[in-house]
Amino acid sequence: MNEASRTYDVIVIGAGPVGENVAERARAAGLSTVIVERELLGGECSFWACDPSKALLRPVVARADARRIPGLRQAVAGPLNAAEVLAHRDKMVSYWKDEDQVDWLDSVSVDLIRGHGRLQGPRAVAVQTPDGDTVHLTARHAVALSTGTSAALPPIPGLDTVQPWTNREATSADRVPDRLAVVGGGVVAVEMATAWQALGSQVTMLVLEDGLLERMEPFAGELVADGLREAGVDIRFGTQVASVARDSGPHSEVRITLTDGEELAAEEILLATGRAPRTADLGLETVGLTPGDWLTVDDTFQVTAVADGWLYAVGDVNRRALMTHQGKYQARIAGAVIAARAGGEPVDDAPWGAHVATADHVAVPQVVFTHPEVASVGLTTREAERTGRRVKVVDYDLAHVAGAHLYAEGYRGQARMLIDLDNNTVAGVTFAGPGVGELVHSATIAVAGEVPLERLWHAVPAFPTIGEVWLRLLETHRG
C-alpha cells in the first residue's frame, strides 16, 4: 500500500454532471482542480437515472401518441420490441463505460483520481484508490461535495433478503419481468411503471398516498393515473407493505404481504420511496458535521455550518432541488463563486457577488415523462396557500387548443397558471397532457423573469401548436 500527497486549488468529490460542472468552471478560471469519483464519471443521471430512463420511455410515449393518430395507429398496433429498446438503452448509456467522460475531463485539464474520497479535516481529503493506495489531497481554496443521493429504502421486514430493485436496477435490467410490483407514487414510480408495463410486465403499483405525484397539482396525478390504468397498470392507493419474502431458486417470486393481510406475488419489486444523501461515509464528522445528513448551504452553496467558507455542497446533496438541471445550474454558480473568491480569472462579466442562486427557490422546472406528460415550474396551488401568497388560479382544458386536436385524437390535458395578484406576474404553471414537456421552458422564462402579464400578452404563440394555451390562459384570466 502506497501513500502520496498532492495540493490543488479546488477538490471536487463526485463526478456526476454537477461535480463535472463545478470542476470545469473552476478550471476555466485558472484554478488547479481535481475531481474524485469512486464509480463512473457521469454519475447517477448518465448511467442509472435520466439517460437510461428516458431511453426506455421514449418508444413507449411515441407509440402511445401514434396510436391516437388516424392513419398511423394500425402501423403501431403491435407490442414494443423489448430487446431493441433495451439494446438502445444500453447504447445511450455507453454500455456503462465512461471513457468519453474521461476524455472530456482531459480536454478541460481537470485531474481525476478514482476512488473513495473522505474529508480528513479542513481542506483535507483522503482518497482510497481501488488498488489499495491512499492519496492525501489538500485544497488551497475549496472542497466541493457533489455526491448526490441514493435510494432511500423503507424499513420493511424481509427487505434485505429479496434484493429489491431501486432506480438503478429498474433502469439497467437486461430482461423484462413477467410481474413487477412498484412501491411508491412519485416520479420514479410512475415513469418506471409506464416503461415496464409497455415492455411487457404486468405492473402493480402499491401507493401509500391517495394519489400519484402528490407534490404536483392534483389533476396531474389524476391524468397520469388514468394513462397508467389505460395501459393496464393495476394501481392500489392507500396501500402499505407489511413484509416481503422471496422464494428460493432462479427468477423466484417475491411474496408481498400488505398491512390489510392481502398477499401478492411479483417477479421483482421496485422501491421508489424517496432519496437519501450520499454523505454517510464522507468524513463529515472531521469538520463538525453529522454523517448521513443533508448539507445546508447558502445561496452561493457554501456549507453554512463550517467556518472559513471553504466547504461547498452542490446538487442533490443539499436538498434544494433534486434534479440534474438544477444541480448543473448550482454548479455553474458555485464554480464561479469559488473562482472569484480565490482570485481566479473571471469566467464571465459578472462579479462573484452576483453569482447567487435564485431559481431553485422560485423557478424549478420539472418534466415527468409518462403518458400523458406532466411539466411544471414555480408554485403549485397548495404551496401558494401554505406560504400565504395571494394568487389567482387560472385553468384551461388543453383539449380545446387547436394544436392538441392535430397532435392526437381524443387528446386529454389540463393547464393551470397561478397569477401573483400583488405583482401581476406568473407564480407557477403546470401542464399535463401529451407533448407538454416542451412547453415548460416558456413557463420557466415567465416565472424566473417575472414577466408582467401586460407584456406576456405580446409573446404571441404560433398557430396551430399546443403552446397556444398561453393565449387561452391569458384570455381566461381576463374573462
Name the residue among 227, 195, 223, 221 with its Cα closest to residue 207. Answer: 221
pLDDT exceeds cutoff 70 at 363: yes
| Cα(462)–Cα(459) distance, integer angstroms | 10
Instruction: Give the pLDDT confidence of 138-196 residue by residue, as tens digits.
Output: 999 999 999 999 999 999 999 999 999 999 999 999 999 999 999 999 999 999 999 99
Residue 351 is predicted with a pLDDT of: 46
The CA-CA-CA angle for residues 120, 125, 127, to 5°, reads 115
pLDDT exceeds cutoff 80 at 355: no
pLDDT exceeds cutoff 50 at 210: yes
Which residue would you say has higher pLDDT here, 59 or 352? 59
Instruction: Give the pLDDT confidence of 76-112 residue by residue, as tens digits.
Output: 988 999 999 999 999 999 999 999 999 999 999 999 9
pLDDT exceeds cutoff 90 at 360: no
pLDDT exceeds cutoff 70 at 346: no
Q: Mean pLDDT across the chain, nearest whole number? A: 94
Residue 310 is predicted with a pLDDT of: 96
For the entire predicted model, the pTM comes to 0.94
**Average pLDDT for 118-125:** 97
pLDDT exceeds cutoff 90 at 343: no
Residue 354 is predicted with a pLDDT of: 56
| Cα(277)–Cα(168) distance, integer angstroms | 16
Residue 148 is predicted with a pLDDT of: 97
Q: Tell me the residue type at 237.
A: F
CATH 3.30.390.30 fits 372-478, yes or no: yes
Residue 353, SS3 per DSSP = helix
119: which 3 cell numbers? 474529508
Q: Looking up cell 463529515, which residue turns up?
A: 284
Return the bridge partners of 119, or none.
125
pLDDT exceeds cutoff 50 at 42: yes
Instruction: Give the pLDDT confidence of 366-423 residue by residue, as tens digits.
Output: 999 999 999 999 999 999 999 999 999 999 999 999 999 899 899 999 999 999 999 9
pLDDT exceeds cutoff 80 at 249: no
pLDDT exceeds cutoff 90 at 247: no
Under CATH, to which class is 3-42+98-150+277-360 assigned? alpha beta
List Cβ neighbours of 297 (8 Å cut-off, separation of 6 or more): 303, 304, 312, 313, 314, 318, 320
Name the residue among 310, 423, 300 with its Cα closest to residue 352. Answer: 300
Beta strands in 344-424 (DSSP E): 366-368, 373-378, 391-397, 414-420
pLDDT exceeds cutoff 50 at 352: no
Residue 126 is predicted with a pLDDT of: 97
| Cα(469)–Cα(431) distance, integer angstroms | 10
Number of CB atoms found within 10 A of residue 465's CB? 18
Contact 15, 22 (CB under 8 A): no
Contact 416, 219 (CB under 8 A): yes
Which sign does the torsion angle of CA 84, 89, 91, 97 carry? negative
pLDDT exceeds cutoff 70 at 348: no
Helices (H), 200-295: 218-231
Q: Tell me the residue type at 97.
A: K
Residue 250 is predicted with a pLDDT of: 62
Task: Give 159-273's CATH code, choosing from 3.50.50.60, 3.30.390.30, 1.10.3720.10, 3.40.50.720.
Answer: 3.50.50.60
**Angle at which helices 99-107 and 17-28 pack, to 10 degrees?**
20
Domain ranges of the chain: 3-42+98-150+277-360, 159-273, 372-478
Name the residue among 91, 13, 85, 105 with its Cα closest to residue 47. Answer: 91
Residue 163 is predicted with a pLDDT of: 93
Instruction: Give the pLDDT confidence of 447-479 residue by residue, as tens digits.
Output: 999 999 999 999 999 999 999 999 999 999 998
Residue 3 is predicted with a pLDDT of: 80
Domain 3-42+98-150+277-360 shares a fold with domain 159-273: yes
* DSSP state string for 91-152: HHTGGG--HHHHHHHHHTT-EEEESEEEE-STTEEEEE-TTS-EEEEEEEEEEEE---EEEP
Residue 361 is predicted with a pLDDT of: 83
| Cα(64)–Cα(20) distance, integer angstroms | 36
On the question of a cis peptide bond just before residue 464, with omega within 30 degrees of 0, the verdict is yes
CB contact burial 146-173 (16+ within 10 A = b; e otherwise): bbbbbbeeeebebbeebebbbbebbbbb
3-state secondary structure labels for all residues of 270-323 = EECCCEEECCCCCCHHHHCCCCCCCCCECCCCEECCCHHHCEEECCHHHCCCCC
Which sign does the torsion angle of CA 338, 322, 448, 387 carry? negative
